[in-house]
Amino acid sequence: MNIDLDDRQRGIVDEAAEFARTVLAPRAQENDEKGVFPREVLKQMAERGYLGATVPQEYGGLGLDPVAYGLLVAAIESGDCAASRLLTVHVALVAEAILKCASTEQIREWIPRLARGETICAFALTEPDHGSDAAGIQTAYTVHGDEFRLNGRKRWITFSGIADLLLVIARNEETVSAFLIESATEGVRIIPQRGLMAGKACHISEVVLEDVVVSKKNMIGQPGQGFTYVVNAALDHGRYSIAWSGVGLAEAAVDAMVSYAKKRSQFGAKIGTFQLVREMIAEAVARVYAAKSLCLRAGETRRAGKPDSIIESTIAKHFAAGAAFRTACDAVQIHGGNGFSNEYPVERYMREAKVLEIIEGTAQIQQMVISMHGLRRFGRG
């Protein structure tokens, strides 16, 4: 594919691919088993500027455009899914939301620290009883002069286990607002979630808020802008990031299935010569090409600032997530019994790929949004 990138951005993406191959991939299985994303690897990502990937250079970031950022995410995903989730949470959900929705003072205070990796972020929206129905959150805040007091419980908060800063969404009756809260603030408790099928190295935790007091400078935007402004902006960037994660994971699964098919012999022949195995490989390759094309289209509309970039990102996320899961499943199938062993990465790919169909909007939610777009866009006359 002919991808329009300048030499600087292309060099960053190429370096990320090498970093994923030599640093991330060799440790991904161990990280998954231990349930820990190593601080030294996080530090290396910060030193390379990845934690400020889309942050403007004036604030210490790499200033990548949407296409370059997407290719960076795909490269990192192919090495370690946890590292890619860190980019989605830290960069796409929180940093982008601050850049778009926060005050100049808040941007100057936080963005350089985020870009350098001195402050790690988490996005605290989901609750035990509210996932897809994010507008129904129950975490509450009350107003006390120039201060706010928050109480509630968030769940499935990726990287909150090691985060320094939380972007928390809470409501005061019908008014939903967004707050930046340091995890060391009195009344904040972080409870690690165990027994997860995937995301084991993503430090997923519950965030409990018990009479957490913050000042007005902690609110992003104005009261009432938490969902319609901050959350929608964050999730749009998050969906785009996850779409590219699907590309990276699907590419890793294709690479694994093809490598195995070339080496594995059955009935006196390499299984890559078998017609039905080749059919699975052909379909997997086609899915990867289609997913990447949709993501590039979404990236180009975002780069051009076109209003249809939101629906383009939604379509790309929906297709790429499904493509990643189907491709990972086929990779396990081609591996046969070995596909169920963690001696091979495909079993981890399949678990992680399923997550992509759920986070940043389930496949069913994406279908609803896309169908409404289809009803408006097609069938005229």
The SS3 call for residue 324 is: helix
**In contact, 231 and 134? CB cutoff 8 Å:** yes
Ramachandran angles phi, psi of 153, nearest 5°: -140, 130
DSSP single-letter state for residue 51: G
Question: Can you point out the beta strands (E) in the chain?
Answer: 121-124, 140-144, 147-157, 165-172, 175-182, 188-192, 205-215, 219-220, 265-266, 269-270
**189 forms bridges with which residues in the sheet?**
208
Rounded to whole angstroms, how far apart are CA atoms 107 and 112? 8
List, in order, residues 6 or more apart from 129 with CB less than 8 Å away. Answer: 138
Residue 21 corresponds to which tokens in the numbers above?
Answer: 């191959």
Catalytic status, residue 360:
yes
Of 317, 319, 345, 314, the C-alpha closest to 332 is 345
List, in order, residues 6 or more apart from 290 with CB less than 8 Å away. Answer: 319, 323
Q: How far is CA 281 from CA 59, 69, 248, 249, 274, in A?
A: 44, 28, 16, 15, 11
Q: Which amino acid is at 160?
A: S
Instruction: Tell me whether residue 237 is exposed, middle or buried, using C-beta atoms within 10 angstroms of its C-beta: 0 to 12, 13 to 18, 19 or more.
Output: buried
First to last CA, the chain: 36
Report CA 308 to chain centroid distance, whole Å.
21
Ramachandran angles phi, psi of 234, nearest 5°: -65, -45
Identified catalytic residue from 77, 312, 347, 360: 360
> What residues act catalytically?
360
